[in-house]
Amino acid sequence: MFRRYLSTTAPKFQNGASLKKILQKDEAFQVTTYARPANLCITRGKNAKLYDDVNGHEYIDFTAGIAVTALGHSNPEVSRILGEQSKRLIHSSNLYYTAESLELSAKIIEKTKQFGGQHDASKVFLCNSGTEANEAALKFAKKHGIMINPKKQGLVAFQNSFHGRTMGALSVTWNAKYRTPFGDLIPNVSFLNLNDELTKLQSFIKDKKNDIAGLIVEPVQGEGGIFPVPAETLIGLKKICADNDVIVIYDEIQCGLGRTGKLWAHAHLPKEAHPDIFTAAKALGNGFPIAATIVNEKVNNALRVGDHGTTYGGNPLGCAVSKYVMDTLADETFLAQVNKKAEFFYKRLVKIQQKFPKQIKQVRGKGLMIGAEFAEPPTEVIKKCRELGLLVITAGKSTARFVPALTIEDEVIEEGLDIFEKAVAAVYA
């Protein structure tokens, strides 16, 4: 049974039936790249809940638009800022300065340093999506390498990585299913295994130092299955890279911005493991598309005017929202709340796992980025959750992923996990 909302809460879509017809007709005009459930069309959201007014359903949302709406759906302050800013200036390109993009860049650097992130953070490149932020990072690392030696262009990435779908970011994304249909990508990419001995990983980088420009890693791997990378691995990788002029890129697109209980996931690490470049997107605009590539002086010194660009990057609407997001997340009280919610979530999920030890092999994660690894792909569990009014996504082959709004209410966590437990019980009865 779907959870239903009172019809009075949805005045805008009382004529649901006709909207349904329009949707069915228009669906034919979208390319075949997504498999979406039938009978689900999101029309509005509020914090950690989503509403489908076409079909009359309410959902608890443990996906937050894939770790994007960290401050909740339809955050009233975000709406207010977008409205106000849109009356002043929506776009002017990167031909000219805007106060919003200058202020946001300064804020990202300032808050990063203040909250234990990249200690030598220096400059910001603003763009529009995660894949673009990584694209910039890879270009910057290659430029740095090429300036040392024209052959120093290669990239190191890791098994289970996900960095995006454009050709550069795709080249360093592990899942062959995403890469192979597109033929030739960036050459000279090596995928290493993070579970290998650190000395083995280090030897690989040292031996090929004249051919490697950069290394890219998610401090907590997201799409690949929610795998937090051990601190000692990142410390050791950074050391060997620093010794061999290899630029270290941390992809914080999913795990950054408060998700792990610190402003950045790499803020859990000692200074010597901080990256040369890190990338942020998703939560940066709480749903408004904006992303950032943050670099130190060493990287910036390799860049020249004209090396990279984007028409929309740093547009005033996105920057105005992001300033608010940064101010809200970079706050010890807010982050303490995230950690409290995460502990609550984790403990309850472990209890569920203990009731189904054969079906759920492990619960792992960091902060509110949590995975429950099943013995088999949890497709039926996810489907059952949806039927019962809970949205959950997968990660890797067999992990159910929980990345709710960081502002999710405790009772909504509880209610959502009740549904999850019911779904697991129903599937494995």
Ligand X SMILES: Cc1ncc(COP(=O)(O)O)c(C=O)c1O
- Contacting positions for ligand X (CB under 6 A): 66, 129-131, 134, 162-164, 218, 222-223, 251, 253-254, 281
Per the listing, tokens 């630029």 go with: 247
For the CB of residue 229, give the shortest distance to ligand X in the complex, in Å.
12
CB nearer ligand X, residue 129 or residue 359:
129
User: Which residue, 282, 220, 274, 283, is CA-closest to 249?
Assistant: 274
CB nearer ligand X, residue 155 or residue 388:
155
CA distances 380 to 1, 60, 170, 225, Å, are 16, 18, 29, 18
CB nearer ligand X, residue 87 or residue 177:
177
CB nearer ligand X, residue 31 or residue 305:
31
For the CB of residue 161, give the shortest distance to ligand X in the complex, in Å.
8
For the CB of residue 18, give the shortest distance to ligand X in the complex, in Å.
33
Task: Report the C-alpha gap between 212 and 233 in whole angstroms.
Answer: 19
For the CB of residue 332, give the shortest distance to ligand X in the complex, in Å.
25
CB nearer ligand X, residue 284 or residue 424:
284
Task: Report the C-alpha gap between 57 and 177 in whole angstroms.
Answer: 34
For the CB of residue 185, give the shortest distance to ligand X in the complex, in Å.
16
Task: Report the C-alpha gap between 19 and 16 in whole angstroms.
Answer: 5
DSSP letter at 229 equals: P
User: Which residue, 219, 223, 84, 237, is CA-closest to 164?
Assistant: 223
CB nearer ligand X, residue 255 or residue 388:
255
For the CB of residue 357, give the shortest distance to ligand X in the complex, in Å.
29
CB nearer ligand X, residue 293 or residue 407:
293
For the CB of residue 214, give the shortest distance to ligand X in the complex, in Å.
15
- Tokens representing 309 are 């660009």
- CB closest to ligand X, residue no: 130
Contact yes or no for 254/67 (Cβ under 8 A): yes
Query: What are the b/e assignments for 185-200, b being 16+ CB within 10 Å?
Result: ebeebbebebeeebee
To which H or E segment does residue 46 belong? Answer: strand 44-46
In angstroms, how far is CA 107 from the centroid of its own chain?
20
For the CB of residue 160, give the shortest distance to ligand X in the complex, in Å.
11
Mention every residue, 6+ apart, whose C-beta is less than 8 A from residue 37. Answer: 383, 386
CB nearer ligand X, residue 227 or residue 356:
227
